[in-house]
């Protein structure tokens, strides 16, 4: 689904339009979400189309929760892309230069409170969410692919003075760890796999050593969510401290996306946690209990492992 096209047809608040389309964008009965709940995933940030220059706002979901509880938070971050997957043959953007120009134009119009928006035919995203990003109330997550994308993304974050998150582009980020650390941005990694090169599997350890906040991610509900634990275990095997691996699965996303304190494991939180036998960030760990909202999730005991 191309959210940029929807923005063009419905020039309204990005959070509103994503919420309105949530029934189409997220199938809460999908096997990926069902498995996520059984695997002990308490909260998930669902990101919009990664093939759009400004895809819309990500929302905070709770896998396995009643439908009336979706979403928990309508706007978690603004997602965009300057990667080639966002380019189009028949319309803008047709290059990274075009994509960056569109983003700059959209933010400039939002800063002026210009209701007309950027002059790219009928592509006119509302400025409400963009102004929230400029005010640092929401982070701006930008998908990248090449090292040059990373350089341009860091320059854009600095120019706009926003809280930046690099999404994906693991090999590119591996080439730019020092500049990323110096820029003070966070990283959401593309899913790691055993087929990746050592350099990619060592990236989490390199980011941790450089004190770059990072989080693991999955393709759920497009794919099975349990890969999050496998990614953490792979990273540990390639030099990441187990405590940093667990943080990348729990506290780091809370900080990166500025999520409510209730999504963290702390006094007064919603009492969601997993009980493991063995080191959770290893392939030998066995999850024996999932507690959600202070109650043992029987489904996880039966189907979760």
Instruction: Give the pLDDT of residue 215.
Output: 94
Report the range of poorest mean pLDDT among 48-52, 173-177, 221-225, 290-294: 221-225
Instruction: Give the pLDDT of residue 258.
Output: 86
Which tens digit of pLDDT belongs to each residue from 59-68?
Answer: 777 776 665 4
- Take residue 239 and report the two structure tokens written for it: 């030099």
d(CA 277, CA 285): 6
Which tens digit of pLDDT belongs to each residue from 100-133?
Answer: 998 998 898 888 875 554 444 444 455 788 888 9
d(CA 12, CA 24): 18
d(CA 277, CA 275): 7
Instruction: Give the pLDDT of residue 13.
Output: 36
Domain 3-271 class in CATH: alpha beta
Report the range of poorest mean pLDDT among 116-125, 154-163, 180-189, 207-216: 116-125
Residue scoring higher pLDDT (118 or 138): 138
Residue scoring higher pLDDT (139 or 223): 139
Map tokens 């906040």 to a residue: 213
For residue 127, give the nearest of 109, 140, 103 by alpha carbon.
Answer: 109
Quick one: what percent of the chain has pLDDT higher than 70? 70
Report the range of poorest mean pLDDT among 132-146, 187-201, 216-230, 232-246: 216-230
d(CA 186, CA 241): 18
Instruction: Determine if the peptide bond prior to 107 is cis (ω within 30°).
Output: no
d(CA 52, CA 80): 6
- What's 251's DSSP letter? H
Give the chain's count of helices (H) and strands (E): 15, 10
Mean pLDDT of 266-280: 74
Strand residues in the chain grouped as ranges (E): 44-46, 54-61, 73-81, 140-143, 164-167, 186-188, 214-215, 273-277, 286-292, 295-296
Quick one: what percent of the chain has pLDDT higher than 90? 37
- Take residue 117 and report the two structure tokens written for it: 């928006």
Instruction: Give the pLDDT of residue 14.
Output: 36
Map tokens 């963009």 to a residue: 130
Which tens digit of pLDDT belongs to each residue from 145-158?
Answer: 999 999 999 999 99
pTM to 2 decimals?
Answer: 0.82
* Residue 164, helix vs strand vs coil: strand
């Amino acid at each position: 689904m191309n959210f940029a096209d929807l923005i063009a047809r419905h020039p309204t608040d990005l959070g509103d339009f994503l919420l309105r389309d949530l029934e189409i964008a997220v199938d809460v009965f999908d096997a990926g979400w069902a498995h996520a709940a059984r695997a002990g995933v308490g909260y998930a940030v669902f990101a919009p189309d990664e093939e759009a220059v400004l895809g819309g706002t990500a929302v905070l979901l709770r896998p396995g929760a009643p439908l009336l509880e979706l979403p928990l938070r309508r706007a978690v971050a603004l997602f965009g892309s300057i990667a080639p997957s966002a380019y189009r043959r028949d319309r803008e953007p047709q290059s990274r230069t075009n994509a960056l120009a569109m983003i700059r134009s959209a933010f400039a119009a939002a800063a002026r409170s210009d209701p007309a928006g950027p002059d790219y035919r009928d592509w006119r995203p509302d400025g409400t969410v963009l102004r929230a990003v400029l005010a640092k109330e929401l982070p701006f997550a930008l998908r990248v692919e090449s090292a040059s994308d990373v350089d341009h993304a860091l320059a854009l974050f600095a120019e706009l003075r926003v809280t930046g998150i690099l999404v994906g582009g693991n090999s590119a980020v591996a080439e730019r760890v020092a500049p990323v650390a110096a820029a003070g941005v966070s990283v959401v990694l593309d899913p790691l796999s055993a087929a990746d090169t050592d350099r990619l599997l060592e990236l989490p350890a390199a980011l941790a050593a450089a004190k770059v906040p990072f989080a693991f991610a999955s393709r759920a509900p497009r794919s099975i969510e349990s890969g999050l634990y496998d990614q953490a275990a792979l990273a540990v095997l390639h030099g990441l401290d187990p405590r940093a691996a667990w943080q990348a699965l729990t506290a780091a996303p809370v900080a990166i996306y500025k999520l409510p304190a209730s999504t963290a494991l702390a006094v007064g939180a919603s009492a969601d946690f997993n009980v493991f036998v063995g080191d959770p960030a290893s392939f030998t760990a066995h999850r024996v209990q999932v507690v959600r909202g202070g109650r043992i999730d029987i489904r996880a005991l039966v189907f979760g492992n």
